[in-house]
Structure 1
Amino acid sequence: MCSQASIPHKFTLAVSAAIILSSSVFIFSASAAAETKTVTASIEPEIVVTEHRARINDNKINYQAIAGETILEDSKGLPLASIFSISYLRTDVKDVTKRPVTFIFNGGPGSASLWLHMGLFGPKRVVVPGDATDDGAAPYPLVENEYSMLDESDLIFIDPVGTGFSRALGDNKGADFWGVTEDAKSIAEFMRRWLIEHGRWNSLKYLAGESYGTTRAAALVDELQGGWTDISINGVMLISSILDFSHARYQPGNNQPYIGFLPTMAATAFYHNKVSAVDKAMGLEAFIDAARQFAITDYALALLQGNRLDSATYQNIRTQLARFTGLSENYLDRVNLRVSASRYSKQLLRDQDLTIGRLDSRYKGVDYDSGGERTDNDPSGYGIDGAYTAAIHDYVYKDLGIKMTRPFNVLSYEVNRGWNWNVSGKQMHYVNVAPMLGRAQRENKDLRIFVANGYFDFATPFFATENTFADNGIDNSRVSMHYYAAGHMMYIEPDSLAQLAKDIRHFYHPEKR
């Protein structure tokens, strides 16, 4: 339930140059500075404060929503960027300093934070069909979110530059902020200013990211904890994690994706009844575990041997691969025992003239024709995007009272295509930020990691995540792995949402374990 109080409140947040000026892209020429000075005077960031009540986790709570812009500035007071965020602060607690704060973002790169906001963490959520059918057209149910984490922690949803309402200002370009390192620096500076502004520097601090947001979280922890102005993090929540991109980039000579994606193919074949009756009787998790063991042992060794594989072993691997993927041995012959996720999405249900989803392989789609190599589009993407897009627009304008009329970027392809994948100035063929989490743990004894995996996720497959966490110097005694019978956004499935919320609540309370 939302009250009608709406209090416009405007102010400019100055930003320290200590972090931002570490990159040459933020240095202005004299002429640019003079030109931008005019722009500075006209910028009046809108911040709207509203008061609300809600029932969350069987508790009635009062909270304040603060929605609006933070202007990042350089040392001369010239604007760099406007970052839009929505903060939820509980107002019926006696001592807020003992209350955690959780900074939340999605991925892409190029995505706004609406998915975790309107699907899991926020006080309102949009309801989409949980049975992997299309969301259709408006109206969509927007309901009070009993699973919100607002009873456990204050929540800050961040839209990085180029997403949501966030944008570069003055002579700066969005590309100045689009990169693994550039992005982490700007978000770290936003967080530093937020902690100062709200007097929460000594509060417990958590990060929560989804998809590329998990990559961002690792790079952000490194940025926050890597210097003497240390912002130590208590916990990181990785939802549909991807930290080492060698597990997701198909290229001749790189066999990691074929190994990492296989158990997801097994889960998908099981769901769509493409496995034998004997395997079906095993149950989903037992069948997945059998696929894990095959993938990391016989299959991995066979891929490593390449054309040195003898005929009998090749035939055995092909038979087992057919068992776990639901594909014919004839097809597996033609692809040399290597099935990419994109091919699999088109091939598994080709006999039914159907495709399966990438974000969630429970979804089925229909292409223009059934003869192609790849799907026309992702049915698990267009199956939910209408609802989430409508929900965030309706919510920020009606419930929060935002008056901005510039476009809200749900997912920007411009940001995605313009992303700088170099890490700290070093060119990396495959980005791997997992060692940053290992180092962060070694330098912070309290840092814990929560990982949520969807069995039907072809964007960030769970076994690839397991393989990443088996290496990279990560202390797995401080890592909790969780699995859900859903896809990339596992919270769209009702049972998975309830379990995920329960698991995250436990993560906030390690003392109770």
Structure 2
Amino acid sequence: MKLLQIFSIGICVFHLTMLPTSLAQNPIPSSEIVPTFKGEPSPYSKITQHQIKIGRDKVSYDAIAGETYLKDTAGNTTGSIFSFSYIRTDKVTANRPVLFVFNGGPGSASLWMHMGALGPKQLKLDKDVNPTNVPPFEIIDNKNSPLDYADLVFIDPIGTGFSRPLNGTDPKIFWGVDEDADSIAQFIELWLTQNKRWNSPKYVLGESYGSTRAAILPRALLGSPFPPGVMRGITLDGIILLGTTLDKHSATAPPKAQNEILKAHALRLPGIAVTAAFHGLTQPEEEIESFYNQTLEFSKTTYFEALLKADNGTLSINEKELILQKLKELTGLTEEQIGDDLVVTEGEFSNTALQNKGLQVGLYDSRYTLPLVNSGHDPVADDAAMTQYVPGFVAGFHMLLSEHLGVEIARPYTAIRWKDLLPYWNFERGFTPVPAKNSAQELAWSLRRNKDLRVFVASGYYDLVTTPAAAYDQIQSGGVPLDRVTFKEYPSGHMLYLGGTSEAFSKDLKNFILQK
């Protein structure tokens, strides 16, 4: 085979023929490698000093709110990522861990993790469940913040928060699975350089779609001749996944097989069962952890097998009756509400479980409820949890900006951006020698490449959107070595640190990072 060219750098040899034809045969025009932006203003930066008591420790820290400019290969500024860094200034150690944090969407800023669980200031809701969504709101010192043992960096991807494209750059170059991961990797690389932290242990934490980002980020950080197309040489010590979703990977991925669809139906049942118990529809004798696990075992075996038989027409009348009775026992639903197909979806359960009380159950946190009537059927505004805790988070974050961080920026802070971003989000992936079937498999590849990389998967029992059962199944099905994964579940929802569980999650996170 004739090689077009061979690049040799150190011990790395790469054949250009491995590249897609379009890249190998179409070099970048010389006009595109000359910087074109002159005299741009310096990145915004605001540094303030603070103290907080965490446990018995009085922690002094700098809070740095500011921009980091991203550049293309020619040195042209393309965008600005705004971040919030908290760096301890007393008891400084050479190898202090750094935790990089982002939320999901795609299109979400990082204020949820910032104000809900990890930042030194925390939103205090007036009730654990069904809080008020009108002022006044309150923010307090977060006694469970990891800042006593790790520095924190909250990242808002381009198009969210104060982050934005610059110099007329088309924002779509940041809005895609690979594009997004590359921009976050570039930010982390710049942050490590600017803060002289290349020798610090490095962790990333992603929630919801952020778990997808976290799973594929190791490749963008390490580097590859395929996307991202640069060698950064950055390895991670740990990845923390919350509200895990690792099965969505590519716009052209083949549709799920029927048995996978039925398996997904079966794995919804444990979350529905604990929700039914929470609302008093059933009276299990076990504690929530034991009850969830017992229901999960039934779901993965007897229930899943029954759904397979029902699908191919081999389920007997007696078997069907036994399954139906068990479903009624677990969900508190009637035979008519369950239906002839024996499938109870989270949407059906949300609308029917408490209909005799005139209530609808939330999906992001099924402890929450709203009136069943007059719903606009908006997946966010009419979700019982989202509509009740979002206003407090947004207001609390703006209080943090003005009252504690001294940030004065005229443009709005975008908590979640759907407009423009979602319609253009590119789920199509760049070329790789072997396409990954999902981001769980990419995570498995990264664990192979880095023998010291560990994973922490945290889930909420009352999360009916990204369930603990689905998270485990995706990790296992992706080939991730389970002996390097820590799984933890909490009696909370999608934002698993709300409702009295923040302290337990913080302890587990500390044990994971400090390897206790």
Q: TM-score, normalised by structure 1?
A: 0.86
Which position in structure 2 is the counterpart of 1:175?
Answer: 172
Q: Pick closer, same or farther for the CA change 1:197–1:429 going to 2, 3 Å.
A: closer
Specify the alignment match of 2:287 in structure 1.
Answer: 283
Does the Cα contact within 8 Å between 1:363 and 1:379 map onto a contact in 2? yes
Cα distance in 2, alignment partners of residues 290 and 440 from structure 1: 33
- Aligned length, in residue pairs: 477
| CA RMSD, 1 decimal | 2.9
The answer to whether the aligner puts 1:76 opposite 2:83 as a matched pair is no
SS at match of 2:39: helix
Check conservation: 1:452, 1:483, Cα contact below 8 A: yes
Superposed displacement of residue 124, structure 1: 0.4
Which has the larger displacement, 362-371 or 451-460?
A: 362-371
Change (3 A) 1:424 1:75: closer
Instruction: Give CA deviations for 1:90-131 in whole Å, capped at 9, x if unaligned.
Output: 111243x21011100011111100011011111100111443
Letter aligned with residue 348 of structure 1: A
Q: Which moved more, 1:437-446 or 1:456-465?
A: 437-446
CA contact (8 A) 1:53 1:62 kept: yes
2:317: which partner in 1?
A: 311
- Corresponding residue for residue 19 of structure 1: none
Q: Give the structure 2 partner of residue 440 of structure 1.
A: 446
Please state if 1:463 is matched with 2:469. yes
Distance 1:376 1:65 in 2: 32
Alignment of 1:259-338 (within 5 A): 259-275=266-282, 277=283, 280-305=284-309, 306=311, 307-334=313-340, 336-338=341-343
Classify the secondary structure of the residue corresponding to 1:69: strand
Mapped partners of 1:431, 1:449: distance in 2: 20
The alpha carbon displacement at 1:300 in A equals 1.1
Given candidates 402, 408, 427, the residue that maps to 1:403 is: 408
Secondary structure at the aligned position of 1:490 is classed as coil
Alignment-derived partner of residue 216 in structure 2: 219
Cα 1:330/1:405, change in 2 over 3 Å: same
Partner SS state of residue 308, structure 1: coil
Moved over 6 A (4+): 27-34, 249-252, 370-376, 428-431
User: 2:339, 2:188 → 1: CA distance?
Assistant: 52
Alignment partners' CA distance in 1, 2:382 and 2:36? 45
Shift of 1:193: 0.8
Summarize the alignment of residues 161-200 of structure 1 with structure 2, pairs less than 5 Å apart. Answer: 161-200=158-197
2:242 is the alignment partner of 1:239 = yes
Moved more, 281-290 or 372-381: 372-381
Provide the residue aligned with 1:51 in structure 2: 49
- Please report the TM-score for the alignment, with normalisation by the length of structure 2: 0.86
Q: How far off is 1:30 after superposition?
A: 9.2
State the match for 1:258 in structure 2: 265
Report the equivalent of 1:6.
none
Look up the SS of the partner of 1:480 in the other structure: strand
Q: 1:94 to 1:31 in 2, by over 3 A?
A: closer
Given that 2:263 and 2:300 are in contact with CA atoms closer than 8 Å, whether structure 1 keeps it comes out as no
Instruction: Flag structure 2 segments of 5+ consecutive residues without an equivalent.
Output: 1-19, 225-230
Q: Note the alpha carbon deviations across 1:3-32, whole angstroms, 9 max, x for none.
A: xxxxxxxxxxxxxxxxxxx999xx999999
Percent identity among equivalent residues?
36
What is aligned with 1:483?
Answer: 489
Cα deviation 1:61-90 (Å, max 9, x = unaligned) = 111111111111123332211100011111
1:380 aligns with 2:385: yes
Distance change >3 Å, CA 155–CA 370, structure 1 → 2: closer
Deviation at 1:308, TM superposition (A): 2.8
CA distance in 2, matches of 1:30, 1:443: 36
Q: List alignment gaps of at least 5 residues for structure 1.
A: 1-21
Q: 2:125, 2:137 within 8 Å by CA — same for their partners in 1? A: yes
Alpha-carbon deviations, 1:337-394, whole Å to 9, x = none?
2222222211111111100111100001113348999997101001101110011112
3-state DSSP class of the match of 1:498? helix
Q: Which amino acid aligns with 1:257?
A: A
Provide Cα deviations, 1:241-296, integer angstroms capped at 9, x if missing partner: 111249xx998932232122111001101111111x4xx22332232122101110
**Contact 2:51 / 2:59 at 8 angstroms: preserved in 1?**
yes
| Distance in 2, Cα, partners of 1:419 & 1:447 | 29
